[in-house]
Amino acid sequence: MKKINLLLISIFYYGIIYPQTDTTIISMHGFEGNDGNSYLVYQTKQSFFNDDVDSSIFNFFLYNINTKTRRIIDKGWEKIYYPENHLQFRHIENIGFVNNDPQKCIYSVNSLGIDPDSRIIRSDVGEIFGLLGFIEDIFISKSDPNLIYAIYNHQFIKSSDGGLNWSWELASSNIDNSVKYLSFFPYDQSKVLGINSQNHLAKSDDSGKTFIDLNVFVNKENSNTVYFNKDQKHIYLVTNQFESIEKEFSRTYGEFYYSNNEGNNSSWNFIDLPYPDKIVCVDDSSSNNVFIATGNEIYKLNDSGKTFINSWKVPHHPSGMYKKPLQDILFVSVPNGIIKIENDSLTYIVKKSIKKSLDLYPLSVGNKWTYNTSGVYYELVPIYFNISYSEEIIKDTTTESGLHYFCLKDNSTNYTKWLRIDTLTGNIFQKDSLSFDNEYLFTNLISQIGENIEISEGILLNVLESSQYLWNNKNYLKYYYLNTLSTFRMSFVQGLGITERLNSFDFGNSTTTLLGCVINGNLYGDTTVVGINDNLTNIPTDISLSQNYPNPFNPTTNIEYSIPQSFVPNSFQNLNTSKYPKQILDDNIKVSLKVYDVLGKEIKTLVNEIQKPGNYNIQFSGADLPSGVYFYQLKYGIFSQTKKMLILK
- Encode pLDDT of 535-559 as tens digits: 334 456 567 888 888 888 888 898 9
Mean pLDDT of 55-60: 97
Our CA angle for 217, 291, 272, nearest 5°, is 40
Which phi and psi angles does 12 have, rounded to 5°?
-60, -40
The 3-state secondary structure of 210-233, one letter per residue: CCEEEEEECCCCCEEEEEECCCCC
Give pLDDT, residue 10.
41
Q: Tell whether the model's pLDDT for residue 612 goes beyond 90.
A: no
In contact, 197 and 178? CB cutoff 8 Å: yes
What's the CA gap between 32 and 571, in Å, rounded?
A: 82
Q: Tell whether the model's pLDDT for residue 425 goes beyond 80.
A: yes
Q: Tell whether the model's pLDDT for residue 276 goes beyond 80.
A: no
In contact, 45 and 26? CB cutoff 8 Å: yes
Torsion of CA 202, 203, 209, 210, to 10 degrees: -70
What's the CA gap between 388 and 32, in Å, rounded?
A: 60
In contact, 559 and 546? CB cutoff 8 Å: yes
Judged on CB neighbours under 10 Å (0-12, 13-18, 19+), 39 is buried
SS3 content of the chain, % helix, strand, coil (to 5): 5, 55, 35
Which 3 state secondary structure label does DSSP give 356? helix
Residues 6+ apart with CB under 8 A from 582: none
What's the CA gap between 31 and 37, in Å, rounded?
A: 9
The mean pLDDT value of the chain amounts to 84
Give pLDDT, residue 174.
55
- Encode pLDDT of 490-509 as tens digits: 899 999 999 998 887 667 78
Q: Tell whether the model's pLDDT for residue 456 goes beyond 50.
A: yes
In contact, 481 and 488? CB cutoff 8 Å: yes
- Encode pLDDT of 88-141 as tens digits: 999 999 999 999 999 999 999 999 998 899 999 999 999 999 999 999 999 999
Which 3 state secondary structure label does DSSP give 34? coil
Give pLDDT, residue 565.
61
- Encode pLDDT of 32-50 as tens digits: 999 999 999 999 999 999 8
Give pLDDT, residue 37.
98
Instruction: Using a pLDDT cut of 70, give the percent of the chain over it.
Output: 85
Q: How far is CA 639 from the centre of its chain?
A: 47
Give pLDDT, residue 140.
96
Most confident of 189-198, 371-380, 435-444: 189-198
**Strand pairing report for 454-455 and 458-470:** antiparallel
What's the CA gap between 16 and 602, in Å, rounded?
A: 57
Q: Tell whether the model's pLDDT for residue 485 goes beyond 70.
A: no
Residues 6+ apart with CB under 8 A from 307: 301
Residues 6+ apart with CB under 8 A from 445: 354, 357, 358, 360, 361, 421, 426, 427, 428, 478, 492
Judged on CB neighbours under 10 Å (0-12, 13-18, 19+), 541 is middle
Give pLDDT, residue 302.
74
Most confident of 329-343, 473-487, 523-537, 599-613: 329-343
Q: Tell whether the model's pLDDT for residue 13 goes beyond 60.
A: no
Residues 6+ apart with CB under 8 A from 446: 22, 24, 316, 335, 336, 354, 357, 425, 426
CB atoms within 10 A of CB 387: 22
CB atoms within 10 A of CB 600: 7
Torsion of CA 68, 71, 73, 79, to 10 degrees: 100
301 or 72, greater pLDDT: 72
In contact, 603 and 590? CB cutoff 8 Å: no
Give pLDDT, residue 603.
92
Q: Tell whether the model's pLDDT for residue 200 goes beyond 90.
A: yes
Q: How many helices (H) and strands (E) does the chain have?
A: 2, 47
Q: How far is CA 280 from the centre of its chain?
A: 19
Biggest CA-to-CA distance, the chain = 105
Q: Fill in the amino acid letter for 48.
A: F
Q: Tell whether the model's pLDDT for residue 530 goes beyond 70.
A: no
DSSP 14: H
What's the CA gap between 28 and 330, in Å, rounded?
A: 12
- Encode pLDDT of 234-257 as tens digits: 999 998 776 555 545 455 667 889
Which 3 state secondary structure label does DSSP give 642? strand
Residues in the chain: 649
What's the CA gap between 16 and 189, in Å, rounded?
A: 50
- Sheet with 135-140: strands ordered across: 135-140, 148-152, 155-159
Alpha helices, DSSP H, located in 330-464: 355-358
569 or 623, greater pLDDT: 623
Min mean pLDDT across 348-357, 402-411, 437-446, 504-513 is at: 504-513
pLDDT-based confidence at residue 642 (cuts at 50, 70, 90): confident
What's the CA gap between 412 and 369, in Å, rounded?
A: 12
- Encode pLDDT of 387-411 as tens digits: 888 999 999 999 888 999 999 998 8
Which phi and psi angles does 175 have, rounded to 5°?
-70, 145
Mean pLDDT of 364-377: 92
Q: Is 610 left (phi over 0), alpha (psi -120 to 50) or beta?
A: beta
60 or 2, greater pLDDT: 60
- Encode pLDDT of 292-349 as tens digits: 998 888 998 876 556 677 789 999 989 999 999 999 999 999 999 999 999 989 999 9
- Encode pLDDT of 563-606 as tens digits: 876 433 333 333 333 333 333 444 567 889 999 988 888 999 99
What's the CA gap between 644 and 505, in Å, rounded?
A: 14
What's the CA gap between 45 and 90, in Å, rounded?
A: 13
Q: Tell whether the model's pLDDT for residue 8 goes beyond 50.
A: no
